[in-house]
Chain A
Amino acid sequence: MSVTHSTDPGHDGLLSGPFAEWFLARGWAPRAHQLELLARSRSGESLLLIAPTGAGKTLAGFLPSLTDLFARGRMPPGSGFTGIHTLYISPLKALAVDIERNLTTPVEEMGLPVTIETRTGDTPQSKRQRQRLNPPDILLTTPEQLALLIANGEADRFFKDLQIVVFDELHSLVTSKRGHLLSLGLARLRRLAPGLRTIGLSATVAEPMDLRRWLVEQAPDADHHAGLVLGPEGARPIITILKSEERIPWSGHSARYAMPEVYQAIREHRTALLFVNTRSQAEMLFQELWNINEETLPIALHHGSLDVGQRRKVEAAMAENRLRAVVATSTLDLGIDWGDVDLVIHVGAPKGASRLAQRIGRANHRMDEPSRAILVPANRFEVMECQAALDANYVGAQDTPPMTEGALDVLAQHVLGMACAAPFDEDALFTEVISAAPYAALPRETFSRVVDFVATGGYALRTYERYARIRRTTDGLWRVSNPQVAQQYRMNLGTIVEMPMLNLRLVRRNARGSLGRGGATLGKVEEYFLETMTPGDTFLFAGKVLRFEAIRENECLVSQAFSMDPKVPVYAGGKFPLSTYLADQVRAMLADPERWRALPPQVRDWLSIQRDVSMLPGRDELLIETFPRGSRHYMVAYAFEGRLAHQTLGMLLTRRLERAGLKPLGFVATDYSLAVWALDDLGAAFRTRQPSLADLFDEDMLGDDLEAWLDESWMLKRTFRNCAVIAGLIDQRHPGREKTGRQVTVSADLIYGVLRSHEPDHILLQATRQDAAAGLLDIARLGAMLNRIRGHITHRALDRISPLAVPVMLEIGKEPVSGEAHDQVLAEAAEDLIAEAMGDAAMREAEASPREIDGRRERE
C-alpha cells in the first residue's frame, strides 16, 4: 500500500472523516489516480486502472468499497441477512492472503465498520459454511472459488447485495482459460446483482481496450467498455546485462558460467529476487549458488512444485527480511508485497518484454525509486536477446499475448455448473454467456451443441439418453439428473489440468537396508518424470540431490544422495517462447553490425566469423544453411519465431522432405532456429530445386500437410486430454476414487483415437483443434512468418557447420526428438534377432545415433 509523502489534502472532499484523518496522520495524500477512480466509480462507472507496480493500485481498487461501506455503517443487530458488498478476485491464493493482511491494517487504523475475509482452496470447511450464513463485507478469493460459489444453490442470496467486483492483475487473468471461466462467472454475477460495477487493476498492456470490454456486459452491435484511469508512470528501472569474465556458452539454459558474478551481486545487495523460466532451472541455479555460498547467506527456493508449507515459510521469511536471495519461477511474478527487495536478477533471457517489466517491478516496490535489475543471458543468442531488449527502449514496449476467443471446453464446464446452481433456460443462459467478452461472438448453434455435450456427450450415436447428466424437463428448463453430478462437478472444477503428480517423501534406509516410512514430504513431481527413472537414479529437487528409491501407492520414496552430479528434473511447461516483438529485435540486431558494439567480445567474434564463413540474415530474410556432418546432412533455418512455431515448422518440413524422398531423420527446435537432418544431401537437392526452398516453405504447408499431421500428432492428444478434463468428459477426480491417484481413470489417448475415427466433427475435437492452433502449435505466428519470408529465402550450402548453427546443433540429443514413430523401428528391432542368429555385427553398427556431436563440444 504505497502513497506519496505530501501534505495535499484529499480534493473535493472525496475523502472525508476517518479517511482524510488517516492520510493526514501519516503525512500522506491520496494520489490523483486513486481519487479519479474513486470519483468515477462512485458515479456508477466500471473502470480499468492501469498503473505500474507500487503506484498504490490496490488501495485505489478498494477505496470505493471502503468509502461505500463507511457510509453504510455497521449493520444493526437483527437486520437480517446481508450478502457480500465487494468481491475481490486474484489470480493467486497467496495474493489474496497478502491483500487481506495489507487491507486489514488501514481498516483497523481507521476504525471502519468493515469485515474482510479470504476464501481459497485452503479455507477450512467450517469457515466456508459460516461465510455462507454470515458473509463478510469484502470477500477476497480466486477464480476457481468464484466458480464454486456461483454453482451453489444459494448463490443468488449470497451475491444479491454485491456492489463492486475488483479484479487484481487482470492482465494475467484474461489471456488463459481461467480468464474465460472467470468472464462467464462475471456474467453470472451481473445477473445476480444487476447494478454491480467492476474495477480492473492491471499492469500496462498492449491492448487496454480488450480489458475494458472484458470488464463490462457485451451486447451485439454495441461497443460497451469500461472507463480508463491511468496511473502515473514509474521511474525507469536501471537494467544491466551481466558482464562475465567467463566464456559464454553456445547453448543451454543454466547460466552456470555466471555463478560467481551472480553471487557477488547478491552479496552487494540487501535482498535479491532471482527469476528463472522453468522449475528445473530454479533447482539448478539454487544448487549452484549453494555450491559457492561460502558465507552461507540465507538463500531460498520458491517454485510451484514445492510443498505448500515450504513455500509459506519462504514467503514469511521474505516478508520479515530474513533472506538475502530467493530463486523463483513465475510463482512470484505477481503482486505479492515483498519487503525490501532491492535487486532483481533475471537468469536466462526474459522472452517477453511485459513479463520482464513485471518481474523487475518486484524490486523496490516504491514507484518513485528506480528498480534495479541484472539480466544474465545463459547463452550467446540470449546475450543478443537481452541486448536487443535494452536497445529497443525495452521496458516500455508491450507484448502481452492477445486475448483469445472463449474456449468451448470451459463453456461446457460452466454450463454444468449453472445447472448445478439452479435449473436454467437455454435461451436465457445463452444471452448471459454472450454478454461475456470472450464469448460475445459465440454462435447460438455452437452453444446448443455444448449443452448437448454436457447432457449426453453430444454424440451422433445417441445411446446415452438414460445416462444424461442434465435433462430438459417438461417446463423447458435444464436440470441436473442427480446429486452425484453436482458432486462430480465440484471435484473437477477449474481449468488448470495437472499431469498426474506424486508426493515425494524423504526416507532413510534402516540398518538392515530396508526403507523406512514417514519422512518429510518435499513436494510433488509429475509421474511421467519418475517413470523414466530406475531405483538409484539421482535428481535435483527442492535444492537437494535425491536418490530415487521406489514408488509406493501415490508416493515416491527418495533418500538423500551424496552425488554432486544429479539428473535434473525436466518439467513440462514453464518454457515461454520468445515473443514476436523480441524476435524481431534480435533479427534487426543481427543484421546491423553497428549494433554489435554493445555485445561482449566473444559474441561479436562469433557473429563476425559467421559473416565470413557464411552470412548473417537480413531483418526480413530467412537464412537456410545446409552442411554435411558425420553420415548425415543438416539444414538449419534461422526463423526466430520461438520454439513452438519452430516445432510445428519442423513437423511440417520433415513431412515434405519425406515426400520429396530426402529421408529426413529428425529435427530439433530452439527459440531462434530449427535444425533438420536427413540421410540425403539436402543442400544438393535445394540447389537443383528438387524441391526448391520456395516450394518447401510455401504457406500451403498450413493446409493439407497440417491437417494430416494433426491427425497423428501427440501434441493434439495431449491438448485433447486437457480439453476433455476441463469439459468434464474425463474426470480428474471421481467421488470415492481419489485414492487411486496414480491410475488415470481412463486413457485420453484411446478416447481420442476412437472419437477421431468415428466422429471427427465432435465438439470436443473442434475445441482441441482451436486450442492447439492458438497454443502449442503457434500456427498464427508460423503463418505470419511464412508470409514474411516469401521471396526472401537465402540458401548457403556449406561444407561444414557454421558458427550460428552451433547452438541448435548442440541441442540435438539433449531433447527427445518429437518425430513420428515409425514401424521401421519395429522392423529393425526384429532384424536384431536375425543379426544375432547370423552373427552379423555389421548390422548393429548401423545403429549409431546422431549424438556424435556431443563429444565434439569443446572443439569449436
Chain B
Amino acid sequence: MNRLALAAMEIEDFGSLSARTVIAGVEAVCDPFGALYLPATRLLVVSDLHLEKGAAFARRGMLLPPYDTLATLKILEAVIARHDPAIVVSLGDNFHDRVGSLHLPETFRARIEQMARGREWIWINGNHDPDGTTGLPGQSADEVHYAGLAFRHEPSDKESAGEIAGHLHPSATVRRRDKSVRRPCFATDGRRLLMPAFGVTTGGLDLRHRAMAGLFERETLVAHLLGRDRVYSVRFANLLA
C-alpha cells in the first residue's frame, strides 16, 4: 500500500525518485509506481493491472475484499497525472478474468473513461483476458510495435531486442546484515524489459525463478526495485542467491 500513500503525496522532484534506463536505444524512465515512461514518444506503459481480481474470486465463491480495483485505479490516476502521456499501453492481464470488464461497476468505468480522455489507450490482451475489453475506451490488440519497441504481454522466446513485456510479475530480493527485502522490480538487460505487475493484489516471481531462465543476458541484467518511495537499481549479481 506504499504506492497508494505515495500517490496521494505532492512530490517536487519526481524524476529523482525514478531510474533511467535504455532499451534497444530507446530512453525510458522506471517510476516508483511501477510504470514505464518513454519521454520521446510520451508513451506510458503499465502491466498486469489485474483489475476486478476480488470480483473474479467472488464469482467462484471466494469473497475477497472488493477494494483492489479502486486502489489500483487510484495509483494509475496518479501516474497519469504525473506524466500526462499521449499514449497509455496496458500490457495485458488488464482484468483478472474474461468477464471482468463486462461486469465492471459503473463508478470504475467512469474513472477509466476520465483517465483516457484526450489520450490514446491500448489494451494488450493477456492470458487472463485474451478476448479484449468490453465497454471501455481505447482499442485492444495482441501486440503493438511502435517507436522501435515491441509491446506484448508474454515475453517471446524468439526475439528479445526492444521487447517490453509483462506476465511474469518479476520481483527481486536483496540482503544485507541478516535482513532481506523482496520487492517487485523492472528487469532489463538493455535489450528487453520486463514490467513489474501494477495491480495491488498481484504477487511476484523471483528473477532467479526458472520461469525467467534464458530471458536475459545476466551480465548486463539490472533490477530496478520499487522501494517505499523511490526506485533502487541493483545488478543481478548483487541480488540474493
Contacts and interface: CB of A to CB of B under 8 A. Distances in A.
A576 interface: no
A745 interface: yes
28 contacts: A457-B63, A459-B65, A463-B55, A467-B55, A469-B61, A484-B61, A731-B61, A731-B62, A734-B60, A746-B62, A746-B64, A747-B201, A754-B54, A754-B65, A754-B200, A756-B1, A757-B67, A757-B71, A759-B67, A822-B181, A825-B175, A825-B176, A826-B227, A826-B232, A827-B232, A829-B174, A829-B232, A833-B235
A606 interface: no
Contact of A469 (B55, B63, B203): B63
Given A666-B178, A753-B1, A821-B179, A456 B71 contact: no
B61 A833 contact: no
Contacts of B238: 829, 832-833
A464 interface: yes
A190 B232 CA distance: 62
A758 B65 contact: yes
3 A-B pairs with least C-beta separation: A457-B63, A758-B67, A829-B174
Contacts of A666: 177-179
Interface in A409-455: none
A729 B235 contact: no
B105 interface: yes
Given A753-B1, A757-B4, A825 B179 contact: yes
B181 A823 contact: yes
Give the interface centre of B1, B66, B200 by most chain A CB atoms within 10 Å: B66
Contacts of A821: 179-181
Contacts of B67: 459, 461, 754-755, 757-759
Interface string A656-673: 000000000110000000
Interface string B80-108: 00000000000000000000000001000
Nearest to B201: A750
B234 interface: yes
A457 B178 contact: no
Residues of B contacting A: mostly = mixed
A728 to B, nearest CB: 8
Contacts of A836: 235
Interface string B176-219: 11111101000000000000000011110000000000000000
Determine the interface band of chain A, counting residues with CB < 8 A from chain B: 35 or more
A226 to B, nearest CB: 39
A484 B61 CA distance: 8
Contacts of B4: 757
Interface in B216-238: 225, 227-229, 232-235, 238
Interface of B: 1, 4, 53-55, 57-68, 70-71, 105, 174-181, 183, 200-203, 225, 227-229, 232-235, 238
A826 B181 contact: yes
Given A488-B61, A836-B235, 9 more contacts: A467-B58, A729-B64, A754-B1, A757-B67, A758-B65, A821-B181, A823-B229, A832-B238, A849-B178
A793 interface: no
A731 B63 CA distance: 10
A325 interface: no
Nearest to B229: A823
A14 interface: no
Contacts of B200: 750, 753-754
A819 B179 contact: yes
B177 A847 contact: yes
B2 to A, nearest CB: 10
A148 interface: no
B174 A825 contact: yes
A823 B229 CA distance: 9
Contacts of A665: 177
Give the interface centre of B4, B64, B201 by most chain A CB atoms within 10 Å: B64
A817 B179 contact: yes
Nearest to A755: B65
Interface string A735-776: 000000000011100110111111100100000000000000
A519 interface: no
Contacts of B57: 745-746
A850 interface: yes
Interface in A637-670: 665-666
A754 B201 contact: yes
Contacts of B201: 746-747, 750-751, 753-754
